[in-house]
Structure 1
Amino acid sequence: MDGKRLKAIVGGSAGNLVEWYDWYAYSSLSLVFAATFFPKGDLTAQLLGTAAVFAVGFLMRPIGAYIMGRYADTHGRKAGLALSVGLMFGGSMMIAIVPGYNTIGIAAPAILLLARMLQGLSVGGEYGASATYLSEMATRKNRGFWSSFQYVTLIGGQLSALAVTLALHALLNDQDMAAWGWRIAFVIGALLALLVYVLRRRLAETPSFTNMAADRPKSGLAALWKARPREFLLVAVISAGGGLTFYAYTTYLQKFLVNTSGFAVQTATQIMTAALILFMLAQPLFGHLADRFGRRPMLLFFGIGGMIVSVPVFSALAVEKSALVAFAIILIPLTLLSAYTSISALVKAELFPAHIRALGVALPYALGNAAFGGTAEYVALWFKQAGVEAGFYWYVTAFLGLATIAFLLLPETKRTSLIEED
Structure 2
Amino acid sequence: MAAPVTETRAKAADMKRRLRAIFIGSVGNLVEWYDFYAYAAFSLYFAKAFFPDGDEVVQQLNAALLFAAGFLVRPLGGWLFGHLADRHGRRNALTLSVVMMCFGSLVIAVTPTYASIGLAAPVVLGLARILQGLSLGGEYGTSATYLSEVADEKNRGFYSSFQYVTLIGGQLCAILVLLLLQKVFLSTDEIRAWGWRVPFAFGAVLAVVAALMRSNLHETDAFKTSRVTVKKSGSIRALLNYPRELMLVVGLTMGGTAAFYTYTTYMQKFLRLSVKLTDDQTTMVTAGSLVFAMVLQPVYGAISDRIGRKWLLIGFGVSGTLFTIPLLTTLQAVHDGFSAFLLIAAAWMIVSGYTAINAVVKAELFPTSVRATGVGVPYALTVSIFGGTAESIALWFKSIGHESWFYWYLTGCIAVSLLVYLTMRDTRTESAMDRHE
TM-score (norm 2): 0.88
Q: Which residue of 1 aligns with 2:91?
A: 78
- In the alignment, the residues of structure 1 paired with residue 149 and residue 296 of structure 2 have an alpha-carbon distance, to the nearest angstrom, of 22
Cα distance change, pair 392–93 in 1 and its aligned pair in 2 (3 A): closer
Any residues of structure 2 matched to 1:290-369 within 5 Å, and which? 290-369=304-383
Cα distance change, pair 32–306 in 1 and its aligned pair in 2 (3 A): closer
Cα RMSD for the two superposed structures: 2.5
Q: Which residue of 1 aligns with 2:390?
A: 376
**AA in 2 matched with 1:364:** P
- After superposition, what is the alpha-carbon deviation per residue over 1:33-92, rounded to whole angstroms, capped at 9, x for unaligned? 456657x77786876664444332221212111111111111111111001101011111
Q: 1:388 Cα shift?
A: 4.3
Cα distance change, pair 306–101 in 1 and its aligned pair in 2 (3 A): closer
- In the alignment, the residues of structure 2 paired with residue 172 and residue 262 of structure 1 have an alpha-carbon distance, to the nearest angstrom, of 23
Q: 1:327 Cα shift?
A: 2.2
**Stretch moving more, 216-225 or 98-107:** 98-107
- In the alignment, the residues of structure 2 paired with residue 392 and residue 369 of structure 1 have an alpha-carbon distance, to the nearest angstrom, of 17
Q: Does the Cα contact within 8 Å between 1:131 and 1:345 map onto a contact in 2?
A: yes
- After superposition, what is the alpha-carbon deviation per residue over 1:108-147, rounded to whole angstroms, capped at 9, x for unaligned? 5444333222111111110001000000000000101110
Q: Which residue of 1 aligns with 2:134?
A: 121
**Stretch moving more, 270-279 or 47-56:** 47-56
Cα distance change, pair 107–376 in 1 and its aligned pair in 2 (3 A): closer
Q: Are 1:393 and 2:424 matched, yes or no? A: no
**Stretch moving more, 110-119 or 259-268:** 259-268
- After superposition, what is the alpha-carbon deviation per residue over 1:148-177, rounded to whole angstroms, capped at 9, x for unaligned? 001111111101111112222331245654
- In the alignment, the residues of structure 2 paired with residue 41 and residue 338 of structure 1 have an alpha-carbon distance, to the nearest angstrom, of 38
- In the alignment, the residues of structure 2 paired with residue 85 and residue 64 of structure 1 have an alpha-carbon distance, to the nearest angstrom, of 12
Q: Which residue of 1 aligns with 2:235?
A: 220
- In the alignment, the residues of structure 1 paired with residue 120 and residue 61 of structure 2 have an alpha-carbon distance, to the nearest angstrom, of 17
Q: Percent identity?
A: 47
Q: 1:350 Cα shift?
A: 0.3
Q: Which residue of 2 aligns with 1:246?
A: 260
Q: 1:239 Cα shift?
A: 1.2
Q: 1:254 Cα shift?
A: 3.4
Q: Does the Cα contact within 8 Å between 1:74 and 1:218 map onto a contact in 2?
A: no
Q: Are 1:187 and 2:201 matched, yes or no? A: yes
Q: Does the Cα contact within 8 Å between 1:66 and 1:125 map onto a contact in 2?
A: yes
Q: Which residue of 2 aligns with 1:402?
A: 416
Q: Which residue of 1 aligns with 2:5?
A: none
Any residues of structure 2 matched to 1:254-269 within 5 Å, and which? 254-269=268-283
Q: Does the Cα contact within 8 Å between 2:67 and 2:388 map onto a contact in 1?
A: no
**AA in 2 matched with 1:212:** S
**Stretch moving more, 402-411 or 355-364:** 402-411
**AA in 1 matched with 2:15:** D
**AA in 2 matched with 1:146:** Y
Q: Does the Cα contact within 8 Å between 1:73 and 1:219 map onto a contact in 2?
A: no
Q: 1:406 Cα shift?
A: 0.8
Q: Which residue of 1 aligns with 2:10?
A: none
Could you tell me which runs of 5 or more consecutive residues in structure 2 were left unpaired when the two chains were aligned.
1-13
Q: Which residue of 2 aligns with 1:12?
A: 25
Q: Which residue of 2 aligns with 1:2?
A: 15
Q: Does the Cα contact within 8 Å between 2:65 and 2:392 map onto a contact in 1?
A: no
- In the alignment, the residues of structure 2 paired with residue 271 and residue 350 of structure 1 have an alpha-carbon distance, to the nearest angstrom, of 35
- In the alignment, the residues of structure 2 paired with residue 8 and residue 178 of structure 1 have an alpha-carbon distance, to the nearest angstrom, of 39
**AA in 1 matched with 2:355:** T
- In the alignment, the residues of structure 1 paired with residue 276 and residue 157 of structure 2 have an alpha-carbon distance, to the nearest angstrom, of 39
Could you tell me which runs of 5 or more consecutive residues in structure 1 were left unpaired when the two chains were aligned.
none
Cα distance change, pair 115–259 in 1 and its aligned pair in 2 (3 A): closer
**Stretch moving more, 8-17 or 215-224:** 215-224
TM-score (norm 1): 0.91
Q: Does the Cα contact within 8 Å between 2:98 and 2:210 map onto a contact in 1?
A: yes
